[in-house]
Amino acid sequence: MNRAALVTGGSSGIGLALARMLHEEGFALTLVSRRAERVEAAAAELGAAAVAANVADAAACERLVAEHRERYGRLDVLVNSAGVGIAGRVEDLPAKHLDLQLGVNLRGLFLVTQAAIPMLRESRGWIVNLASIAGTLPTPGLATYGATKAAVISLTRSLNEELDADGVRAVALCPGFVDTPMAEWSGIDPAEMIRPEDCAEVVRMLLRLSPYARIPQVVIERVGSRDSDIA
């Protein structure tokens, strides 16, 4: 049976680029996104299954993994790409914006991964977590977003330790500004940004490693960027 992958945030941006790469590599796919019309359009392009779900909802996290298992019976790669970033200084950020970023970027990623671990253990699969260079540097104005991504990096390393004996490997991708809708606010010319396909090529390389090698974290810098160039 073909290998299978599950991609949250799979309707656009980095998640869609990763889904396209996995399709090229022969994976059967489940794409997940909050808006049904967008995820269904992306899934139609790739011959994938579409699941409309908000990973901020715990029941939805269990449901989307269960639907993938029912359809394919296996999971070789989990991509946690669903994410949200809201600008705001610590002293000004409303609690609802704090909760939204924590709920999607950290809690949702945690719960989807938790539900997927049994299948990943069976396949000795990969967990690909979309973090950010913002999780590795001070991020004034995006402190909450950066904090959630730092937590994702930490969680990724803990997953590697907990699942080492099972052959499950996890990586945190930490790109700078990528040409996606989320980065439009930066004012940087999209032509000068990292391409979503660059992130996909990094993951393609990881999938070619022997079972005895893993790379727990990859930082992708934007050429010509400064330390404060975050995404």
**Which amino acids are annotated catalytic?**
145
Question: What's the Rg (C-alpha) of the chain?
Answer: 16
Distance CA 134, CA 83 (A): 13
Q: How many residues does the chain have?
A: 231
Please check whether residue 72 is in contact with residue 45, taking contact to mean a CB–CB distance below 8 angstroms. Answer: no
Q: Which residues contact 137 (CB under 8 A, 6 or more apart)?
A: 146, 227, 228, 230
How many CA within 13 A on the CB side of residue 85? 26
Distance CA 180, CA 184 (A): 7
Q: How far is CA 216 from CA 33, 68, 97, 171, 213, in A?
A: 25, 25, 29, 4, 10
In the chain, the amino acid numbered 230 is I
Give strand pairing partners of 101. none
Distance CA 156, CA 80 (A): 11
Q: If DSSP codes are grouped into helix, strand and coil, which group holds residue 94?
A: coil
Distance CA 176, CA 194 (A): 7
CA angle at 66 for the pair 166 and 203, rounded to the nearest 5°: 50
